[in-house]
Structure 1
Amino acid sequence: MPARGRRFPWAGRNFRIQTAATVISGLGNSGAPIATAFAVLASGGSAAEVGYVTAARLVPVVLLLMVGGALADRLPRHHVMVAANLFSAVSQAVLAVLVLNGHVRLWELMLLAAAGGAGHAFYAPASEGMIMQSVAAEHAGRAFSVFRLALNSAQIGGMALGGALTAAVGPGWVLALDAGCFLLAASLRFFLEAEAAADAEPGGGMLRDLREGWQEFASRRWLWVIVLQFAVLMACITAVDAVYGPVVAEQRLGGARDWGLALAAHGLGLVVTGLLMVRWQPRRILLVGNWGVFLFGVPALALAVAAPLPVLVLAMFLSGAGVTVFGVNWMIALQQEIPAAMFSRVSAYDHLGSLSLSPVGTALAGPAATALGLSGALWACTALCLLLSAVVLLEPQVRRLSRRTVAEASPRPAEPVGTS
């Protein structure tokens, strides 16, 4: 249903509520990784232990994403999101209390990080399915740009606030803020309209749903090639953002506050490029999107060469710009090519593949820094990011998948996108 507002008449009620709730949860959740990393370091933990806690969050995401995707295509998606947000609010609140009491142990950090990962595994596929289904195909580019612009604006504030609060009052209060944001976001999502969720087909069960989702995913070569690319790419980026970045900031920069500033610059790059993407509608959506991926490794390069803070801030800005260029075009490709009833399951396979190696990457980040040196590990991450960005362009479907006109906007059956 179209909204009655003059500025965004294409933005219906579900789009507006989901965007607002995503901004609120993103505001708290953007500062939580900073707080968690420095909570580990403040308790005497090492870079390896920061990696273990990050890996503990990612493992349940990998294990439970498929269940979350199947449930989101069977149940009302807003019910799944509300339940996941409430669960995350409770887990973050418990973690905040432990950190504030000053007696948190490594196994407790890992357990509660895993609980947060489980909540995300159920939330993410439902959220992506909801936002894709809430706008018409002819407005997808503008809608997804506005959605990411709003989310990324919240990330700027969240990262800057998270870094400043961690430095000023300690990580426990940042985690408490995250719990409150999850609770408020769940309250908003309660008012989403159930009609936006896809109707489940009778019979067959979850295994059939997962099999159908896999067939939809595997039949499109452009889809699984990019997901394979991101499996390694995300392992490197997560290691840099969650382990190496905080460690370098603690050793050579100004600690949590400077790392929060660098992350805020990343968010600023997301927002500024989001404004561009509202109007820019490139024809070759995946080709243009992958040019943005080349910028993902720039922060690792800046950290590897021991760049001063202003250069690191610029590198993070460029990385954020690349994320938005890729992210908007990727969402357009998914909405354009994937049937609505399959959104959440295909999204779950996308997230599963992209994050599959991230727990390994973060768990090995500390040992890799010991074996190669911190600078050597960062150089390895930089090289892998650049190499993967180049290799994926060898796939013709990635280079040739094009934005369709309004008349062509319904999802196509699974078939090659021209390989001649």
Structure 2
Amino acid sequence: MTKLVTTTTAPRMSDALRNREFRALWFAEAQSVLGDHLTTVALSIVVYGRTGSALWAAVVYALTFLPALAGGLGLSQIADRRPRKTVLVVSFVMQAVFVGTMAIPGTPLAVLVTLVVLARLAGAPANAAQNALTREVFADDELYLRSQDLRGITTNIGMLIGLGGGGLLVTSLGPSWALALDALTFLVAAALVQFSVRQRPVPGDPGDGWFSAVRWVWGQRRLRVLLALSWLVGLAVIPEGLAAPLAHQIGASEQAVGWLLAADPVGFILGTFVLSRFVSAQNRKRIMGVLATLAAAVLIGFAATPTLPFALLLLMLAGAAGAYIITVGATFITWVPNELRGGAGGVYRTGLRVAQGLGVALGGVIADLVGSATFTIALAGMAGVVLTIPVAVSWARILKTQ
């Protein structure tokens, strides 16, 4: 059973790892994230090697995201209608089977594409179950928020490792072995959850309407404001999609593209650590609007066509301020009744992914039209400030009523 935190001092991230159930959930997610990066790189290499087509490679890469978006609203609700531990274990095993089949040398391209879609669809209920289960594991709000800090930092470290070493590892092992390794990570995750997380009863009513959680979320003003705060991240990710043209415009080398891509997650990790270590959960709620505005405002500095060091600093500052999104997500899940958290979490995650995808696409279109990556990023910052201020004001009013 989870113990309540009774100390007067705020818990640290390391305190969350003392919980056996969370420790298993965290480690399962961490090594699955690393495995997913391997799969993405391996698939790109396999598809491009067979077809010689950059378009096909891009299409398959897009397919690693699109099923998760499509399944986020629908399949995530399975986490409210079945025992969440069972959902996690079954989803992990299914993903292991699909990815393991991809690892078979010579698998036809059409089968490979189908397996990509199926694997990502199987991941939608797993994500929903994991988010809802993590909230159930902790009785203390402060400790739960620290667990989300740890998850956020871990995910971004996994991203950095994937960016820095994913390609090298795939080329060293070969795509088939990399895919097989990813399949193994899912089996390890399934075993960890099976033997370390206790079974809980079905949280929701199977007789409820399939989209009851979606309707409930939209009926709650405070949750709509939290969703709006999360969607603003769509503007903050625009620099990621423009890393290559940005490096060219500021006179940096091709190697700097990787640095520009890494700057935001590095800043995010630092910002999350500072918030987790020095700011209480309640105060973090109070400053969410300020940090969201700051994350956008920093990007306006690109209007000056910065040097590479200054560009990296701006991106790190934007990433650090963007760490507010962890508090947004944790507050959202906490304010949703347990029996609806699977479906509601699907709404949140899907909206976030769609906003990020649209932001990157929009940034590319505008950059092509104006012929400047730096101006496009600065424009995104200005738009972000204009859009964030009214949302931040609405959030401040909501907090006064809590």
Q: Common fold, TM-score beyond 0.5?
A: yes
CA contact under 8 A between 1:89 and 1:178: conserved in structure 2? Answer: yes
Please give the alpha-carbon distance, in whole angstroms, between the structure 1 residues aligned to 2:44 and 2:315. 18
Q: Residues 188-220 of structure 1: CA distance to partner in whole angstroms, max 9, x if unpaired?
A: 12224344465333x524xx2522x12431122
Q: 1:389 to 1:326 in 2, by over 3 A?
A: farther
What is the identity, as a one-letter code, of the residue corresponding to 1:130? L
Please give the alpha-carbon distance, in whole angstroms, between the structure 1 residues aligned to 2:163 and 2:303. 19
CA contact under 8 A between 1:55 and 1:358: conserved in structure 2? Answer: no
Runs (5+) with no aligned partner, structure 1:
403-416
Please give the alpha-carbon distance, in whole angstroms, between the structure 2 residues aligned to 1:277 and 1:81. 30
Helix, strand or coil: the match of 1:387? helix
The residue that corresponds to 2:8 in the other structure is: none
Q: 1:112 to 1:267 in 2, by over 3 A?
A: farther
Q: How far does residue 186 in structure 1 lie from its aligned partner after superposition? A: 2.1
Q: Which is further off, 84-93 or 343-352?
A: 84-93
What is the identity, as a one-letter code, of the residue corresponding to 2:125? F
Helix, strand or coil: the match of 1:78? helix
CA contact under 8 A between 2:299 and 2:377: conserved in structure 1? Answer: no
Q: 1:196 to 1:276 in 2, by over 3 A?
A: farther
Helix, strand or coil: the match of 2:341? helix
Residues 382-401 of structure 1: pairs in structure 2 closer than 5 A: 383-384=379-380, 386-395=382-391, 396-401=393-398
Please give the alpha-carbon distance, in whole angstroms, between the structure 2 residues aligned to 1:299 and 1:44. 37
- TM-score w.r.t. the length of structure 2 is 0.75
2:30 pairs with one of 23, 29, 38: 23
Q: 1:298 to 1:35 in 2, by over 3 A?
A: farther
CA contact under 8 A between 2:24 and 2:196: conserved in structure 1? Answer: yes
Q: How far does residue 303 in structure 1 lie from its aligned partner after superposition? A: 12
Helix, strand or coil: the match of 1:190? helix
CA contact under 8 A between 2:69 and 2:350: conserved in structure 1? Answer: yes
1:78 pairs with one of 72, 85, 93: 85
The residue that corresponds to 2:129 in the other structure is: 126
CA contact under 8 A between 2:297 and 2:382: conserved in structure 1? Answer: yes
Number of residues paired by the alignment? 388
CA contact under 8 A between 2:226 and 2:328: conserved in structure 1? Answer: no
Q: 1:9 to 1:398 in 2, by over 3 A?
A: closer
What is the identity, as a one-letter code, of the residue corresponding to 1:324? A
CA contact under 8 A between 2:85 and 2:129: conserved in structure 1? Answer: yes
The residue that corresponds to 2:329 in the other structure is: 331
Runs (5+) with no aligned partner, structure 2:
5-10
Q: Which is further off, 117-126 or 166-175?
A: 166-175
Q: Residues 279-337 of structure 1: CA distance to partner in whole angstroms, max 9, x if unpaired?
A: 312645455334444537978987995964x556545543442343321x113312442
Helix, strand or coil: the match of 2:138? coil
Q: How far does residue 131 in structure 1 lie from its aligned partner after superposition? A: 0.9
Question: What RMSD, in angstroms, separates the aligned Cα atoms of the two structures?
Answer: 4.4
CA contact under 8 A between 2:234 and 2:357: conserved in structure 1? Answer: no
Q: Residues 20-72 of structure 1: CA distance to partner in whole angstroms, max 9, x if unpaired?
A: 111211222245445555666665444x6565334333332222223332210
Helix, strand or coil: the match of 2:15? coil
CA contact under 8 A between 1:286 and 1:398: conserved in structure 2? Answer: no
Q: How far does residue 347 in structure 1 lie from its aligned partner after superposition? A: 0.7
The residue that corresponds to 1:410 in the other structure is: none
1:204 pairs with one of 204, 207, 225: 207
What is the identity, as a one-letter code, of the residue corresponding to 2:335? E
Q: 1:164 to 1:319 in 2, by over 3 A?
A: farther
Q: Residues 370-407 of structure 1: CA distance to partner in whole angstroms, max 9, x if unpaired?
A: 9537745x7546533552354233134323444xxxxx
Please give the alpha-carbon distance, in whole angstroms, between the structure 2 residues aligned to 1:177 and 1:374. 42
1:157 pairs with one of 157, 161, 165: 161
1:67 pairs with one of 74, 85, 99: 74
CA contact under 8 A between 1:234 and 1:358: conserved in structure 2? Answer: yes
Q: How far does residue 349 in structure 1 lie from its aligned partner after superposition? A: 1.3
Matched, 1:340 2:338: yes
Please give the alpha-carbon distance, in whole angstroms, between the structure 2 residues aligned to 1:50 and 1:374. 26
Q: 1:305 to 1:126 in 2, by over 3 A?
A: farther
Please give the alpha-carbon distance, in whole angstroms, between the structure 2 residues aligned to 1:125 and 1:351. 9
Q: Which is further off, 57-66 or 245-254?
A: 245-254
What is the identity, as a one-letter code, of the residue corresponding to 2:80? D
Please give the alpha-carbon distance, in whole angstroms, between the structure 2 residues aligned to 1:249 and 1:186. 41
- TM-score w.r.t. the length of structure 1 is 0.73
CA contact under 8 A between 1:34 and 1:260: conserved in structure 2? Answer: no
Q: Which is further off, 162-171 or 264-273?
A: 162-171
CA contact under 8 A between 2:235 and 2:380: conserved in structure 1? Answer: no
CA contact under 8 A between 1:10 and 1:135: conserved in structure 2? Answer: no
Q: How far does residue 362 in structure 1 lie from its aligned partner after superposition? A: 6.6
What is the identity, as a one-letter code, of the residue corresponding to 1:73? D
Q: 1:292 to 1:82 in 2, by over 3 A?
A: farther
Helix, strand or coil: the match of 1:354? helix
Residues 27-176 of structure 1: pairs in structure 2 closer than 5 A: 27-34=34-41, 36=43, 44-46=52-54, 51-97=58-104, 110-138=113-141, 139-165=143-169, 174-176=178-180
Matched, 1:318 2:317: yes
What is the identity, as a one-letter code, of the residue corresponding to 1:398? W
What is the identity, as a one-letter code, of the residue corresponding to 2:25? Q
Q: Residues 156-199 of structure 1: CA distance to partner in whole angstroms, max 9, x if unpaired?
A: 43432214435766666554443332232222122243444653
